[in-house]
Amino acid sequence: MQAHLGWAHFLNQKIAEREYGTAAEQNLRAALATDPSNVYANAMLGNWLLQTDGSLTEAIQHFDVAVASGKARPLVRTFELGGLIDLDQKGARAKLIRVANDMRKSNEPLDADERRRIRVTCFDPIIAGHGEMEECLTALPSDEAWATYLWLNNNPAGGDDRPQVGEFVYADLLELNGKRQESLAKYQALQKELKSQPGSLKERVDAAVTRLSRSTSG
């Protein structure tokens, strides 16, 4: 009851804009003081922290407890993904892709829009910079990172219709795993493919070819 009351205060503050203050947090933390493993309080407080610029580390801890409880998994994932997707904070993308990977391996459902949003946030080279993609691709073992990308792209409502993006992701993954010559060859092949298609993706490919050419020649 305390957890749901806290969430009601949060909605009243965030959505209805009818109240201010810390009532939501106080109720959620009171619920956890009564039962530290309460799935609702952990999931709701985790989301509250992400929505209010709170501690990412603490939010992740609460979500991990909620997931470990084995209860109300769809609700937990809704709060977890809702807080992490589009969160522009170091470490958020790494956690986001690990959540997606866990959902893939557990055969948990993920709707088409969420698949697209996670894929764009973590793997679209036009949206995610080099450092942001690196955070996602190194958050998992390379085989799992690639499998998760393919899973996110296997969208019943239509995956990414740009095969060059998948080629870029794979080349980037090779580079991050120290396979620079293989990565350079992939980038160069993609560079030829995009020669007559100017745009942000071509610029990212050109930059990767320049970067790897220098490192491999040295």
Model pLDDT for residues 142-197, shown as the tens digit of each residue? 999 999 999 998 865 555 667 899 999 999 999 999 999 999 999 999 999 998 88
What is the SS3 assignment for the chain?
CHHHHHHHHHHHHHCCCCCCCCHHHHHHHHHHHHCCCCHHHHHHHHHHHHHCCCCHHHHHHHHHHHHHCCCCHHHHHHHHHHHHCCCCCCCHHHHHHHHHHHHHHCCCCCCHHHHHHHHHHHHCCCCCCHHHHHHHHCCCCHHHHHHHHHHHHCCCCCCCCCHHHHHHHHHHHHHHCCCHHHHHHHHHHHHHHCCCCCCHHHHHHHHHHHHHHHHHHC
Angstrom distances, CA of residue 114 to CA of 74, 78, 162, 174, 192:
13, 10, 18, 26, 33
Query: What is the percent of the chain with per-residue pLDDT over 90, rounded to a whole number?
Result: 67
Rounded Cα–Cα distance for residues 75 and 210 (Å): 45
Q: In whole angstroms, give the CA distance from residue 202 to residue 185.
A: 15
Q: What is the distance between the alpha carbons of residues 170 and 205, in angstroms, rounded to a whole number? A: 12
pLDDT at 49 over 90: yes
Query: Residues near 181 by Cβ (< 8 Å), separated by ≥ 6?
Result: 216
pLDDT averaged over the chain?
88
Is residue 20 predicted with pLDDT exceeding 80? no
pTM: 0.87
Residue tagged 């969208």 (tokens):
155
Residue with tokens 């220098």: 214
User: Within 10 A of 39 (CB to CB), how many other CB atoms are there?
Assistant: 20
The average pLDDT across 208-212 equals 93
- Give the chain's radius of gyration (CA, Å): 20
Predicted confidence at residue 10, as pLDDT, reads 65
Q: Which two tokens stand for residue 65?
A: 């407890």
- Give residue 5's pLDDT: 67
Domain ranges of the chain: 1-84
